[in-house]
Amino acid sequence: MTLSDLGVGSTVPLRQLGRLMLEWRNRSGLSQARAAELLEMGATSLARLEKAEITRVRTGVIKEACGIYGVPEDIAEGMVRLAQQAKVKNWWHSYRDLMPKHLDVYVGLEAAAAGCVTYQPELIPGLLQTEEYDRALLCARWPNEPAEERDRRTQIKQHRQVAITRKNRPLDVDVVIGEAALRRPVGGPMVMARQLRHLADTSTRDNVSIRVLPLRAGFPGGVSMLPFVILDFGTPPPGAPTEPLVVYLEGMVGSMYLEDQDDVRIYYSAHETLRQAALDEAASRNLLRRIAREYAP
């Protein structure tokens, strides 16, 4: 099964291809400037290819680079396949006019992930938001946006959520949500009631774990943690390149992707600390249903 069979699109193949291009250029002993000269391309263009900062890759360039770098035939064939997979257009490409670049990258990674570990202290995680909860947030953020554009924004979230319910390799989700997210009203009492019931119902799925961090837990680990997501891409098929775990930190004007193993380990440890301080899954489900009744009996 290929990445394109899974509906991954360009993000992951480009990242894998970029890492391989950089690795084999370094093995060849060529500087970036000299390699770009041999490939008859700008050094900036080669740098962007190695960093996966481009949207289109010419397979001819990859074949030529493999020859110059001395890449073994079987690996070269795999690199060409990655370049071909990077051309596949998937659902989120039709929404690029609405998504900032960092979210475009994230959606592609999320679609390829096998597991998602996340902490959200004040907001319901996007993968678990109901449509009306999402719409309420969108109305507050873009109050003057035309209705048809807002409809398209809600479709982005709905497409992403299919990852949890899809029959083929559903996404494993392990979530810790701060109690503040349940108490902070979005869209009114009925919207919140339905949102919390949706969380409770979704938490019964085998591939979903939802735990609530109660306010009384204070600050586990002695720090105030900002939201984060850890994406795990599972074990690749034999011969396929490995995609390293990624920590995603979203910001208002940009986002960070951490791949260093030490950084990933720190966030996994932080999530485990939060998870241990949170209510267990059954108690969390009961709390969700109780607070839902408080909003709308």
Q: What is the CATH number of the domain that holds 199?
A: 3.30.870
User: Same domain, yes or no, for 211 and 77?
Assistant: no
In a domain, 3, yes or no: no
111, 74: one domain: no
Instruction: Provide the pLDDT for residue 283.
Output: 98
pLDDT of residue 168: 85
What is the pLDDT at residue 6?
Answer: 39
Q: Which of 85, 112, 137 is the last residue of a domain?
A: 85
Residue 89: both structure tokens together: 């257009």
Same domain membership, residue 66 and residue 98: no
Answer whether residue 231 is part of any domain: yes
Residues 227 and 116 in one domain: yes
Verify that 247 and 196 share a domain, yes or no.
yes
Using CA atoms, how far apart are residues 237 and 214, in angstroms rounded to an integer? 40
> Degrees (nearest 5) of the Cα angle 123, 179, 183?
75
Rounded distance between C-alpha atoms, residue 100 and residue 51, angstroms: 18
Identify which of 223, 195, 190 has the alpha carbon closest to the alpha carbon of residue 210. Answer: 195
Residue 75: the pLDDT is 80
Q: What is the pLDDT of residue 95?
A: 56
Do 165 and 270 fall into the same domain? yes
Helix pair angle (11-28, 59-69), 10° resolution: 30
d(CA 88, CA 79): 15
Do both 189 and 205 map to the same domain?
Answer: yes
Number of H-type helices and E-type strands within the chain: 12, 6
Q: What is the pLDDT of residue 99?
A: 55
> Which of the listed residues 27, 61, 85 is the one where a domain comes to its end?
85
Q: Choose one of 85, 111, 132: the last residue of a domain.
A: 85
pTM of the model: 0.74
* Distance between CA atoms of residues 49 and 21, nearest Å: 8
| 4 within a domain of the structure (yes/no) | no
Tell me the residue range of the domain where 78 lies: 11-85
Residues 255 and 112 in one domain: yes
Q: What is the pLDDT of residue 52?
A: 79
Same domain, residue pair 67 and 149: no
Domain membership flag for residue 204: yes
For residues 116 and 244, membership in a common domain is answered with yes
* Domain presence at residue 164: yes
Does 271 reside within a domain?
A: yes
Asked whether residue 257 is assigned to any structural domain, the reply reads yes
Q: Does residue 6 sit within a domain? A: no
Q: How many structural domains does the chain have?
A: 2
Encode the chain (297 residues) as per-residue pLDDT tens digits. Answer: 333 333 444 567 777 788 888 888 988 998 999 998 998 888 888 998 888 777 678 888 889 899 989 988 878 887 887 787 766 665 555 555 555 555 667 877 788 788 999 999 999 999 999 999 999 999 998 899 888 888 888 888 898 999 999 888 899 999 999 999 999 999 999 999 999 999 999 999 999 999 999 999 999 999 999 999 999 988 766 656 567 888 988 877 667 888 888 999 999 999 999 999 999 999 999 999 999 999 998
CA distance 245 to 109: 10
Beta strands in the chain (DSSP E): 115-120, 172-178, 208-213, 228-232, 246-250, 255-258
Cβ–Cβ < 8 Å for 4, 88: yes
Half-sphere exposure of 296 (CA within 13 A, CB side): 12
pLDDT at position 7: 41
Residue 59's pLDDT is what?
86
The CATH number covering residue 57 comes to 1.10.260.40
Are both 137 and 229 inside the same structural domain? Answer: yes
- Answer yes or no: do 205 and 80 share one domain: no
C-alpha span between 211 and 118 (Å, rounded) = 11
